[in-house]
Structure 1
């Protein structure tokens, strides 16, 4: 005799669910009876039941109003019909193989991934194989580069490229104009912006000085070299010294111990404004690239005279008459020689008369310098010195410069660059190169 199924629609038991609870309590808490049929739901037929059905529904407590005996949470998890996971080691092997980074590691990871995939039934066999193959090729290339020295060349090129990228002061060259972050050329310059020299800019590069040796020489030595070389090279770039006004000063960017390790071995000499936050406008370059032959000839002659004048003794005539007399004789010789150079050149028609007047003044000045060199006392020396000095950068010099199209405002040597010994130089000369 079989136990009849409970009244109401009967649903087959899910074979993957646990069997219903067994026990003497086969009756639900509520009276059994037909459940009202939803008028909008088609009637369901009871599941046929036979005593010999191994999956027959056993007695279990009936939920109220025919509700399902287990809660339903959406779709639910089913272990069937879902793809297996991709092996993570295979992904790592493929990435390292493509990037050719640590090829030995990529090869090992590819082998490990193949073993794990076979054991776990995971996906990613193709990625593991591809990563192992690419890593093998990369490993072979690395071995070849090490054997031929190509690796060191690659690393050196990488460092040079990194240190000379756009926006870095490593990449500055002679003739470049640039701006720096902030309001002034401070002690440390970490990056620069290249700008046209025709407009406003913070600084203009007039020279670069390579430093020899493989080891960083130290900050003090680097600054000493920069102080000497930059002030010497400024006139080679700005030959028209009258165009370098008293607002312009010399600065330099020097390597640091950190930037030295990245291949920075140059001192960068620049013109900048003496005022904090001040700028320059237009290029100060006046050399063979920007001047004509007549301008060059004139500026070279005047530069020779200026160089002799800048060698003035530190002690005045009353303390060192002999030294001052020797200096006056040298100035007279140079002045006479350069007057002869200017006189022997064929000048354009518009320049001939002004140049002739200047040559005449230079010849008269050379005689006064020669007389000062023979002075027997300090008073005689000063008398000849004052007469000769009036010719230096005088009216005839201004007229000749105007005819040649050069600057016509005489510099104030006490406020400008001063002599080559550095007594009247401006600027702190202590700005460091960016790292």
Structure 2
């Protein structure tokens, strides 16, 4: 009677790591196990194939998570104070000094067109209000009021027809970690060039 071939331990480990969602590890061990079962005439080819399958699935899932994290990071990374060229950005990326080509109608603000402040624009972020990171959602009206209190223009700007618009976190964006409210100086119709922050703003 011919003795039964030894079980390839690498195949077992590929399956175990695959079940533990260690995709890349399971994939590598599974490939190694397939080669060893062929060269050493050990058992476990089926187990190794299962490890490879789990490894592929786990690796794809891991790559998807990494890609999502990278894209989210890029989409929420603060902009420089004055961009070099026009670009679309999420409201959460705006910083004090950001110049906005035009502001959307009332309602949740998603993406806006940010332009160099030397280009004609309708609004500029002049103040940020940061809620505490551990703050409890205060309700939309209270959030709006807190941001509005930090949004003040000087008398000359008011006389020139500049008005303020406040963008505060919504309940949904708050749940996603948004804790910053924005105060924008707005000239209806646009055409402003320069910056309100350094006094170089020229109104149309």
TM range (shorter): 0.5 to 0.7
Matched residue, 1:161: 73
**Secondary structure of 1:209's aligned partner:** strand
When the two chains are superposed, the root-mean-square deviation of aligned CA atoms in Å is 4.7
Shift of 1:243: 4.9
Alignment partner, residue 281 of structure 1: 192
> How far apart, CA to CA, are the structure 1 residues paired with 2:115 and 2:52?
51
> Where does residue 170 of structure 1 map in the other structure?
92
| Mapping for residues 223-238 of structure 1, pairs under 5 Å | 223-231=144-152, 234-235=153-154
Aligned partner (choices 120, 124, 138) of residue 217 of structure 1:
138
The CA deviation at 1:160 is: 7.0
Counterpart position of 1:208: 128
Deviation (angstroms), 1:229: 1.4
Q: Which residue of structure 1 aligns with residue 45 of structure 2?
A: 118
Q: Quick check: 1:163–1:262 contact (8 Å CA) kept in 2? A: no
**1 CA distance for matches of 2:74 and 2:170?**
16
Check the 8 A contact 1:244/1:284 in 2, yes or no. Answer: no
Task: Confirm whether residue 263 of structure 1 aligns to residue 180 of structure 2.
Answer: no
After TM superposition, list the pairs within 5 Å mapping 1:64-143 onto structure 2.
Answer: 102-103=21-22, 107=26, 110=30, 118=45, 128=52, 131=55
Please give the per-residue CA displacement for 1:285-318, whole angstroms capped at 9, x wherever unaligned.
255xx58xxxxxxxxxxxxxxxxxxxxxxxxxxx
Residue 245 to residue 188, structure 1, CA distance change in 2 (3 Å): farther
Whether the 8 Å CA contact 1:180–1:191 is kept in 2: the answer is no
Who is 2:3 aligned against? none
Alpha-carbon distance between aligned partners in 1 of 2:75 and 2:136, rounded to the nearest angstrom: 17
CA distance in 2, matches of 1:169, 1:286: 19
Q: 1:195 aligns with which of 101, 115, 131?
A: 115
Cα deviations by residue, 1:330-374 (Å, 9 ceiling, x for unpaired) = xxxxxxxxxxxxxxxxxxxxxxxxxxxxxxxxxxxxxxxxxxxxx
The answer (yes or no) to whether the contact 2:148–2:183 under 8 Å persists in 1 is no
Which residue of structure 1 lines up, in the alignment, with residue 5 of structure 2? none
TM-score (ref. length: structure 1)? 0.29
> Which protein has greater RCO, CA pairs closer than 8 Å, 6+ apart?
2
1:360-379 aligned at under 5 Å gives the runs none
| Corresponding residue for residue 272 of structure 1 | 186
Does the C-alpha gap of structure 1 residues 254 and 204 become closer, same or farther in structure 2, counting only changes over 3 Å? same
SS at match of 2:150: helix
Residues 199 and 110 of structure 1, relative CA distance in 2, 3 Å threshold = same
Would you tell me which structure has more strand in proportion to its own residues?
A: 2
Contact kept, 8 Å, 2:127 with 2:150, in 1: the verdict is no
Quote how far apart the aligned CAs of 1:284 are.
4.4
Provide the aligned length of Structure 1 versus Structure 2.
Answer: 157
Structure 2 vs 1, CA of residues 259 and 159 (structure 1 numbering), >3 Å: closer, same or farther?
Answer: farther
CA 1:243 to 1:272, structure 2 compared with 1: closer, same or farther past 3 Å? closer
Secondary structure class of the residue paired with 2:138: coil
Name structure 2 gaps, 5 residues minimum: 1-13, 38-42, 78-87
Q: Report the secondary structure of 1:200's partner residue.
A: coil
Structure 1 residues 286 and 158: alpha-carbon distance in aligned structure 2, compared to 1, 3 A threshold: closer
